[in-house]
C-alpha cells in the first residue's frame, strides 16, 4: 500500500498555484471529496499510480460544473412560440428595463403617493385593465393555476362547481382541474358527457349548494365529430338567472384577435368581456405575452372577496412581475404591439421569415446541404390545440450525419431544433433576427 502514502496532503494540494483565483473554500471541499474517493479506489486496488495533474483537472472540472449557471439562454428553433419547456413567452427588453428601474430603486408598490399612506399592491394594474377590458376590478397572482385555486377556495369551499365532462383538463406539469378543485375544497359537479354537453345540463345541475358554473379552455386537445359544448355567453346568462357565479378559466387568454383565422374558434378576452362575465382568469405568459402570472378580472364585489382571502398573501406577485405586466398591458392599450415579442412572432410576415432563412442558407450553404421550406408549426403552450400555422424552416443535411445526431450536436450548443420527416429543421418563426449569426457560428463550429 505504498500508494496510500503518496496521496497528496489536502493543505498542500489546495495551495497549488493553479488554484489561484478560485474560491478556496469550494476548492478545498471538492478536493477532499476527490482525494477521499481516490483513497477508496486505492484500497480496492483499482489504482496503479497517482497523477496530481489529473487530480487538479478533476477538481477544476467539478468546480466549473458547480459554479457555471444552470439556467442558460437557448435558441428556440422549434417554431413553437409559447414553448412550455423553453420559458414560454419572451419578456420584452423595454418592459424588463422598466421593471429593472422599479426593482433596483424604492417604489410605490404599497404606497399611495397622493395620500402619503399605505397603498394597494394590486392597484397598479387595475386602471390599465379597466381601460383595456372594461372590467370592474382585477387582481394578479403567481400564475393561472393559483388563480383557479384562489377562485375555487374563495367561492366554492364545500360548494358545488359545475363543469362539463368535456372540459376536465389535464395540462403539462400535472395541473388537473378535478384535483385542483379537490385541493381547494370545492366540490366538482360533472355534467354532460365527454363529447356533448348541453345548456340544460348546466340548468339541471344547479341546486341550493351550487356556487358557480365554470368553463375551462381545452388547452391541449380538441373533441371532434359528434360533439357540442355550451358557449360561455349562454353559461353567463344561465348563471345570472340562477344567481350563481360564472367563471371561465381561459388558460392562455389572448387579449386581441389572433391571426390565421384562429379567433373564430378561440375568442379573445375582449370578445368574452362583451358577455359581461362574473370572473375570468388567464396566464400572463402564454399568448398575452408578458411574464409568469395569473390575471383575474371581473366584478368588483367578487374581486373584493378574493382580496380578503388569506391565501392571496401566499400567492401574491412581486414588484418585478407587476412592473412587467403593467408595461405589457400599456402596450395593448396604446396599440404598441411591437413591444410584445410573442405577438411579433405570431404576426411576422412569411416573406420576412423567408428572407431570414435565405440569409442563413447563404452563410452556411458551403458546409451543408440546406433547403428553405414552407411548413407548419403549432403555437404551443396550451393555446390553440391542434391548430397549425404556416412557417418557414431551413432543413439541414450534413454528409454522414443522421437527423438525430445533428439535433443532438446542435443541442450541445443550446440550439434547439426539431425533426420532421427525418430532417432537422430550424424554424424561423421563433428564431430571433439577431440569432442568425449565432446559429451560423454554432453550425460552423460543429460541422466544419
Ligand atoms: C395553462 C393553463 C392553466 C395554468 O396556467 P399557468 O399560468 O401555467 O399556471 C390553467 N388552466 C388552463 C386551462 C390552462 O391552459
The DSSP symbol for 138 reads E
CATH number (3.40.50.970, 3.40.640.10, 3.40.430.10, 3.40.50.720) of 91-339 reads 3.40.640.10
* CB distance 145 to ligand 1 below 6 Å: yes
- For 108, 184, 394, the CA distances from 358, given in Å and listed in that order, are 49, 52, 8
3-state helix, strand, coil in the chain (%, to 5): 45, 20, 35
| Closest C-alpha to ligand 1, atom 1 | 251
Q: Best substitution site from 85, 150, 219 to test ligand 1's pocket, by max atoms within 8 Å of Cβ?
A: 219
145 CA to centre of ligand 1 in angstroms: 5
Ligand 1 atom 13: residue of nearest CA = 251
Closest ligand 1 atom to residue 219 Cα is 15
Question: If we measure between CA atoms, which residue out of 208, 140, 151 comes closest to residue 181?
Answer: 151
Alpha carbon of 251 to ligand 1 centroid (Å): 4
Which class for 94: exposed (0-12), middle (13-18), buried (19 or more C-beta within 10 A)?
A: middle
In sequence order, what are the residues at sequence separation of 6 or more whose Cβ sits closer than 8 angstroms to the Cβ of residue 438?
75
From 251, 293, 381, the mutation candidate for ligand 1 (largest count of ligand atoms within 8 A of CB) is 251
Q: Mutate which of 221, 249, 321, 325 to test ligand 1's pocket (most atoms within 8 Å of Cβ)?
A: 249
The response to whether residue 251 sits with its C-beta less than 6 Å from ligand 1 reads yes
Secondary structure element (H or E) that encloses residue 378, with its range? strand 369-378
Instruction: Phi first, then psi: give them for residue 281, nearest 5 degrees.
Output: -140, 155
149 pocket-lining for ligand 1 (C-beta < 6 Å): no
Smallest CA-to-CA distance from 155 within 305, 377, 284 is with 305
Round to whole Å and give the CA distance between 226 and 16.
Answer: 75
pLDDT score at 326:
97
220 Cβ inside 6 Å of ligand 1: no
- For ligand 1, say whether the CB of 341 is within 6 Å of any of its atoms: no
Is the Cβ atom of 144 under 6 angstroms away from ligand 1?
Answer: yes
Q: Ligand 1 centre and the CA of 144: distance in Å?
A: 5
385 lines ligand 1 (CB under 6 A): no
Nearest to 296 by CA among 155, 119, 96: 155
Closest ligand 1 atom, residue 169 Cα: 13
The CATH number given to 75-83+344-447 is 3.90.1150.180
Q: Is the CB of 55 under 6 A from ligand 1?
A: no
Nearest CA to ligand 1 atom 6: 144
Angle ∠(54,28,2) on CA atoms, nearest 5 = 50
Specify the residue with its C-alpha closest to ligand 1, atom 12. Answer: 251
Full pLDDT tens readout for the chain, 448 residues: 678 888 999 999 999 999 999 999 999 999 999 999 999 999 998 888 899 999 999 999 999 999 999 999 999 999 999 999 999 999 999 999 999 999 999 999 999 999 999 999 999 999 999 999 999 999 999 999 999 999 999 999 999 999 999 999 888 777 899 999 999 999 999 999 999 999 999 999 999 999 999 999 998 889 989 999 999 999 999 999 999 999 999 999 999 999 998 988 889 999 999 999 999 999 999 999 999 999 999 999 999 999 999 999 999 999 999 999 999 999 999 999 999 999 999 999 999 999 999 999 999 999 989 999 999 999 998 888 889 999 999 999 988 899 999 999 999 999 999 999 999 999 999 999 999 999 999 999 998 8
* Cα 422 to ligand 1 centre (Å): 32
Amino acid at each position: 500500500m505504498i500508494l496510500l502514502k503518496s496521496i497528496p496532503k489536502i493543505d498542500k494540494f489546495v495551495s497549488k498555484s493553479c488554484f489561484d483565483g478560485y474560491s478556496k473554500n469550494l476548492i478545498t471541499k471538492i478536493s477532499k471529496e476527490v482525494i477521499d474517493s481516490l483513497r477508496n479506489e486505492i484500497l480496492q486496488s483499482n489504482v496503479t499510480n497517482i497523477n496530481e495533474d489529473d487530480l487538479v483537472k478533476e477538481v477544476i472540472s467539478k468546480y466549473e460544473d458547480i459554479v457555471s449557471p444552470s439556467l442558460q439562454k437557448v435558441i428556440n428553433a422549434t417554431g413553437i412560440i409559447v414553448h412550455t419547456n423553453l420559458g414560454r413567452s419572451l419578456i420584452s427588453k423595454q418592459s424588463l428595463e422598466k421593471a429593472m428601474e422599479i426593482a433596483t430603486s424604492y417604489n410605490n408598490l404599497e404606497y399611495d403617493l397622493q395620500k402619503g399612506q399605505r397603498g394597494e399592491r394590486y392597484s397598479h394594474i387595475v386602471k390599465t385593465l379597466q381601460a383595456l377590458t372594461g372590467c370592474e376590478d382585477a387582481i394578479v397572482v403567481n400564475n393561472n393555476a393559483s388563480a383557479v385555486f384562489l377562485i375555487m377556495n374563495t367561492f366554492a369551499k364545500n360548494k358545488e362547481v359545475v363543469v362539463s365532462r368535456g372540459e376536465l383538463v389535464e395540462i403539462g406539469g400535472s395541473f388537473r382541474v378535478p384535483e385542483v378543485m379537490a385541493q381547494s375544497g370545492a366540490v366538482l359537479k360533472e355534467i354532460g358527457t365527454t363529447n356533448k354537453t348541453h345548456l340544460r345540463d348546466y340548468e339541471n345541475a344547479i341546486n341550493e349548494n351550487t356556487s358557480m358554473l365554470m368553463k375551462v379552455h381545452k388547452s391541449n386537445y380538441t373533441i371532434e365529430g359528434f360533439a357540442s359544448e355550451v358557449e360561455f355567453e349562454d353559461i353567463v346568462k344561465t348563471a345570472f338567472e340562477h344567481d350563481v357565479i360564472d367563471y371561465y378559466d381561459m388558460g392562455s387568454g389572448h387579449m386581441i384577435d389572433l391571426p390565421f383565422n384562429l379567433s373564430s374558434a378561440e375568442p379573445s378576452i375582449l370578445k368574452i368581456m362583451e358577455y359581461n362575465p362574473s370572473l375570468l382568469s388567464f396566464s400572463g405568459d402564454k399568448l398575452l405575452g408578458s411574464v409568469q402570472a395569473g390575471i383575474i378580472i371581473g366584478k368588483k364585489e367578487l374581486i373584493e372577496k378574493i382580496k380578503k382571502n388569506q391565501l392571496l398573501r401566499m400567492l401574491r406577485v412581486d414588484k418585478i412581475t407587476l412592473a412587467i405586466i403593467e408595461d405589457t398591458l400599456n402596450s395593448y392599450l396604446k396599440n404598441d404591439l411591437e413591444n410584445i415579442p410573442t405577438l411579433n412572432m405570431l404576426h411576422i410576415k412569411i416573406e420576412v421569415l423567408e428572407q431570414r432563412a435565405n440569409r442563413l442558407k447563404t452563410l452556411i450553404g458551403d458546409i451543408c446541404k440546406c433547403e428553405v421550406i414552407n411548413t407548419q408549426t403549432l403555437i404551443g403552450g396550451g393555446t390553440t390545440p391542434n391548430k397549425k400555422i404556416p412557417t418557414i424552416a431551413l432543413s439541414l443535411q450534413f454528409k454522414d450525419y443522421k437527423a438525430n445526431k445533428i439535433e443532438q450536436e446542435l443541442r450541445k450548443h443550446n440550439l434547439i431544433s426539431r425533426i420532421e420527416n427525418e430532417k432537422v429543421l430550424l424554424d424561423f418563426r421563433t428564431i430571433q433576427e439577431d440569432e442568425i449569426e449565432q446559429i451560423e457560428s454554432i453550425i460552423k463550429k460543429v460541422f466544419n
